[in-house]
Amino acid sequence: MNAEIIVAMNDPATVAPDRKELYPAVRWLQGAHDDSVFRLRAFALPQCRADIIALTEDHARVDTNWCGAILQAHAQYPEAAAIGGVVENGATESIADWAAFLIINGRFMRPIRNGPSREISLQSNVSYKRSALPGSFPQFGLVTSTLHHELHEGGAMLVASDRMVVHHAQKLTLGSHSALHFHNARSTAGLLRIAAPASPWLAGYAVMLPKLVWRTVATGLRKRRHRRELIMGFPLIVWLVGCHAAGELIGHFMGPGDSPRRVN
């Protein structure tokens, strides 16, 4: 199977030279020093040469058959513009890590329903048909949730498949998780306002906190997995969702600020 691996970086010191020598087949792309992760994705995607392009993150571990599973899923759903997979927690030692994972990726852990779906996994484990991607990206870069919304609204098929599995291993302190949730939410909300400045005030912000908490808890209970972590982490889930809600509100009214550069 022929495949290429592309790593986009904003800091030359991110990967030591000897590490690059260990992986000569990898293409190491050097972005600008102040590029956010959103801009790095938009920088790297046009340089991909394959008909199917997959994304993951530097703190994610893919299963050994990940590339093959992506190709099989696209062969099964040839009309799919994007296919999202399963995201499992790879940071299982602290309740803070569990709480952060369940908020963002709990709905993508097994089991997931295979087939066409409006909601698929995000940048940790998603693949696209090259032909379905836009010809260019906004100056602020690629926000996968916004791209998926635009694809769906444009009539493209999004598919969820449990063939490909990624383990999201982001081990952080509670303070770091809090900051990351805030900056990620401010980034996405603020960048959305840049992309659609005429969008109306969303009354949903008023019920965002209870809605996100309920979605996290209901998803965990429905999947019947990791209920102990869900129960023990409930106070932290409420706290982190509050950080997320604050970021969304500030991003909506004040823009993304410097938050995109603080998301990793």
DSSP string, 201-263: P-GGGGGHHHHHHHHHHHHHHHHT--HHHHHHTHHHHHHHHHHHHHHHHHHHHH--TTGGGG-
Q: Could you tell me which of 115, 118, 131 has the C-alpha nearest to residue 52?
A: 131
Q: Side-chain half-sphere of 192: how many Cα atoms within 13 Å?
A: 24
Which helix H or strand E contains 138, and what residues bound it? none
pLDDT at 262 over 80: yes
Q: Could you tell me which of 98, 93, 108, 90 has the C-alpha nearest to residue 234?
A: 98
pLDDT at 6 over 50: yes
Three-state secondary structure call for residue 22? helix
Type of residue found at 227: R
Residue that has been written with the tokens 């769906």 in this structure: 152
* Neighbouring C-beta atoms of residue 250, cutoff 10 Å: 18
What mean pLDDT is predicted for residues 202-208? 58
pLDDT in tens, 63-92: 999 999 999 999 999 999 999 999 999 999
pLDDT at 225 over 60: yes
pLDDT at 17 over 60: yes
pLDDT at 165 over 50: yes
87 within 8 A of 125, measured Cβ to Cβ: yes
Domain 6-262 part of CATH 1.10.10: no
pLDDT at 195 over 80: no
**Residue 200's pLDDT band (cuts 50, 70, 90):** low
Query: How high is the pLDDT of residue 203?
Result: 47
- pTM of the predicted protein model: 0.90
Rounded Cα gap, residues 9 and 169, in angstroms: 19
Q: What are the residue boundaries of the structural domains of the chain, listed by start?
A: 6-262
